[in-house]
Amino acid sequence: MLVLDADTSVVNPNHCIEEYIDPRVDIVFYERFFNWEIASGNYLVRNTQFAKDFLLRWANYGRNAIDYLWWSGSDNGALHMVFLETILPSDSQEVKNCRNLWLKARAYDTYVPFVVCVRFYLGATRIWPQRLKLLRRAHGFCRDWYNTGGLWTERDFLIHGWKSQTVRDNDWASPFYKDIELSRCGNNYDGWPWKPDKKVKIEEIRHLIELAENRSARTFPKNHLVIPFLDQPDIAQCYPNCDINERFSSN
């Protein structure tokens, strides 16, 4: 099943969602471009017991607003916690470190260290067989429009962030000169009223992606950043049993 935000739309019908189905995993997520979050609005999920349990745990985190000052990041924040608890033992020091940062968040700037913590402990791994897959920024089945304006390329499939009330805001103009005509969609492109100048070569998009990548790094909130193994406990709070879960799981 493909889950989509309401402001996500097909820009290029020459792709199929089947291109992104990976038989090795049950749920496929992708990274948000501007802050390396795991995007919560668009994902692929297989009808398995693991996937059902994962989604239920994610949904149940919505009941955990224990402090009215807590800036939880809503469903995005909860997704990161469930993701990490799926990969690592929920009572591991690593999970505790990230959870503590999450519960201390009072604004976006203090929420960001929690995201960094989760991504740090997930490491460079992108695939956890029979469980999860995390697609790299700008390599998912969907990407945010604002990194390239209304421009798109043959590689694109879905674009996120298209809201009718913001057309022409922030220098964004729709890539279509009128609404898509569903009644004319068929074996040809009659129902796709693209603006000819909005489809560009991959090289042009790559340049815009490079600019966006540099901008994201430059504007990323850094005042409260935490380096997990330097600024948080590593072994002091769990010694001598820091790896007890790993030992038991290997037997």
CA-CA-CA-CA torsion sign (163, 168, 172, 178): positive
Residue 166, pLDDT score = 61
What confidence tens digit (pLDDT) does each residue in 57-71 have? 999 986 765 566 678
Please state the rounded mean pLDDT for residues 214-222. 92
This prediction's pTM: 0.88
Residue 11, pLDDT score = 92
Residue 77, pLDDT score = 92
pLDDT at residue 246 is higher than 80: no
Please state the rounded mean pLDDT for residues 218-223. 91
Task: Return the H-helix or E-strand segment holding 142.
Answer: strand 142-144
Residue 244: CA atoms inside 13 Å, Cβ hemisphere, count?
10
Paired residues of 152 in beta bridges? 199
What confidence tens digit (pLDDT) does each residue in 161-205 have? 877 666 555 555 678 888 888 888 877 788 888 899 999 999 999
Residues 6 or more apart from 55 whose CB is under 8 A from it?
A: 45
Residue 250, pLDDT score = 39
What confidence tens digit (pLDDT) does each residue in 96-140 have? 999 999 999 999 999 999 999 999 999 999 999 999 999 999 999
